[in-house]
Structure 1
Amino acid sequence: MTHTYIPLENYKRKWIFNHKDLPVSEADKAQIKPLAEKSAMLVWNQWISNKSSRAEQFAKGDWAAKADAWSLTEHWQAAWDSEDEQLPEAILQHMDWAADTPIFFCYEKYQIIETRWDVFVRNWKCFLFFDDGPLLVSPKQKQALFFQQNGQYQLGLRG
């Protein structure tokens, strides 16, 4: 599937990747590709849900709404607030992916960023400036990651 992208400099949330306290390298910025609305919708419908447009709306039939989709719940907020740039260890163990694994960081049906796993790992704090239930999935992997506003995350497998 070929996607259409919004140039990062035109992306309405671009400031999260230009924050002075969490600098993103130019090489990584080149790999952060916000999807145009139609492409985002297609990705959401295929990999997340064809019924719900936001995480809080997940309903029966959505893989992410199934209790057994999620195996571990931990806290991400303390790691985000710390000086340590490291993604929480449990996430790194669960998502044991190659650096160049393509991922979708899905804020909601029309707000999705395509990038690579290594770019997300280095810049995860920037992605989480918006923490209203984003999901991280890869079309090539079954593992999934769900960040919640209460400072917790869930590790699971896509159905």
Structure 2
Amino acid sequence: MSYLPLEEFKHAWIFRHQSMPASSEQQALIKPMTAERSNVLWDTFISKNAIHSDDFGKNDWPANNENFSSTINWEARWESDDNDLPLEILDHIDWQDNTTVYYCLNRNQILETTWANFKQCWKNFLFLDDGTILLGKKRDQVLQFHSTGDCKLGIKP
């Protein structure tokens, strides 16, 4: 089995938070990967050595600022009543709504969903914003969210 039921994901509360609960249809599209599958994806697309974004070394592409074109602030939009992602993010990402995306918390915890579902539930996902990386399947554009309220817009080499 490659996925866990969402209820077994230790941070599942982010999708049931009283201030912005995700619908049951949205939750059904959020698939936490098992640690084994998360490890494979992390090793393949992020780092073979680091366990978390705090551990990136000079040979890890996310540690190289040349892979990121700009940094924007997402926190003001998150705190507002506007539910759309910041425009700079939408301008950077040109994925189709059915693109599979991976919200990478660390080597052992990755959530899979669609780009359309992430756009609808982004405020929920960003309760977990400690260096998390958003990748699209077979896509080069990446986002890295930081608890400072910043988001780095980049291209994965």
Q: Same fold (TM over 0.5)?
A: yes
Separation in 2 of the partners of 1:50 and 1:17? 30
Q: 4+ residue stretches of structure 1 with deviation over 4 A?
A: none
Separation in 2 of the partners of 1:51 and 1:77? 30
Match of 1:101 among 76, 80, 99: 99
Is the CA contact 1:53–1:109 (under 8 Å) kept in the aligned structure 2?
A: yes
Separation in 2 of the partners of 1:10 and 1:61? 34
Q: Give the drift of 1:25.
A: 1.6
1:87-108 Cα distance to aligned partner (Å, 9 max, x none): 0000001011100000100011
Note the residue ranges of structure 2 that are not aligned, 5 or more in a row: none
**Secondary structure, in 3 states, of the residue corresponding to 2:62?**
helix
**Secondary structure, in 3 states, of the residue corresponding to 1:129?**
coil
- In structure 1, the residue matched to 2:81 is 83
Aligned-residue sequence identity (percent) comes to: 39
Match of 1:148 among 135, 143, 146: 146
- In the superposition, the TM-score normalised over structure 1's length comes to 0.96
**Secondary structure, in 3 states, of the residue corresponding to 1:5?**
coil
Separation in 1 of the partners of 2:134 and 2:26? 17
Separation in 2 of the partners of 1:150 and 1:133? 10
Corresponding letter in the other structure for 2:124 = C
* Aligned: 1:132 with 2:130: yes
Separation in 2 of the partners of 1:138 and 1:62? 18
Q: Give the drift of 1:139.
A: 2.4
Separation in 1 of the partners of 2:66 and 2:138? 21
- In structure 2, the residue matched to 1:45 is 43
* Aligned: 1:56 with 2:45: no
